Amino acid sequence: MNIFVCVKQVPDTETKITPTADGSFIETNSIKWIMNPYDEFAVEQALLVKASNPAANVTVVRVGSVKDTEALRTAMAMGADDAILVEAQDNLDSYSIAKALKGAIEKSGKKPDMILTGKQAIDDDALQVPQVLAQMLDLPSVSVIVGFELSGSTVKVKREIEGGALEVYAVNTPCLLAANKGLNTPRYASLPGIMKAKKKPLAQYSLSDVGVTDADRRVKYSGFRLPPEKPAGKKFDATDAAKQKEVVAQVVGLLRTEAKVI
């Protein structure tokens, strides 16, 4: 059984983002990179499947710059068997990334039985790659999954929709599933795992190796800028119990007369 996990390396959630002077992208030099948090759930799910199917092979695939291979090494330290890196600039659009992932999976020579991804990457927040990749590979897909039960070649998954309701899907492999927080609890990489990961195979391709060119770009970004700062608001002290009612009444009043939101 061949499981592929697609991971992305993204700026840490606490990172301050600064647009470049020409607005073409963001400053990437001072950023702390982490594995996209949703991808950790995908890696963990693959490892859980491998635990009950010891013959399964877990390959992690990433499209991105080579300056740091943190995400792939972390995934292999957690227990993935091997990795593929497709070298690319960090601001590729979803269509190009999905096409590169498809090319990398095909180039590996292994026929995927299951592809796992995070439901979204927290850098461009496009929420496209899982579904675009599934469509390109002509695979069924379910996104935003919070439950997973594999029996034979059928996976029963739960997809979270509006209002916390859950849709239950039964899908046969091969399929693509995109993980949400809550699917499982990702393990930490152990020290022996980290040592072993250094010796695990990491294949490296260029975009042209996997058949992606500039003509594959579908979405163009420009004019990166910080959002406008809000002017300072009004602050009220309601620590004095005697004044609380008065202060709250004033704020509630302002929400109608000044802010006009209620």
Considering only residues 36 through 75, tell me which ones interact with another protein, judged by CB under 8 A.
Answer: 37-38
Cβ closest to another protein, residue 50 vs residue 159: 159
For residue 257, what are the contacts with CB-CB under 8 A and spacing of at least 6?
none
Q: Pick the closest to residue 142 from 108, 163, 117 (CA basis).
A: 117
Cα separation, 157 vs 178, in Å, equals 10
For residue 113, what are the contacts with CB-CB under 8 A and spacing of at least 6?
1, 2, 3, 173, 174
Cβ closest to another protein, residue 82 vs residue 99: 99
Min CB(15)–another protein separation in Å: 8
Min CB(100)–another protein separation in Å: 14
Give the pairing of strands 166-172 and 82-87.
Answer: unpaired
For another protein, the binding residues in 196-225 under the rule CB under 8 A are 215, 217-225
Q: Pick the closest to residue 142 from 111, 116, 164 (CA basis).
A: 116
Spatial contact of 87 and 72, defined as CB atoms under 8 Å apart: no
Min CB(200)–another protein separation in Å: 28
For another protein, the binding residues in 91-110 under the rule CB under 8 A are 93-95, 98
- Binding residue count for another protein, defined by CB under 8 A: 88
Cβ closest to another protein, residue 42 vs residue 98: 98
The token duo for 24 is 């073409």
Q: Which stretch binds another protein (CB under 8 A): 50-58, 77-85, 106-114, 234-242?
A: 234-242
Q: Site map for another protein, 155-194, x if CB under 8 A?
A: -x-x-xxxxxxxxxxxxx--x----xxx------------
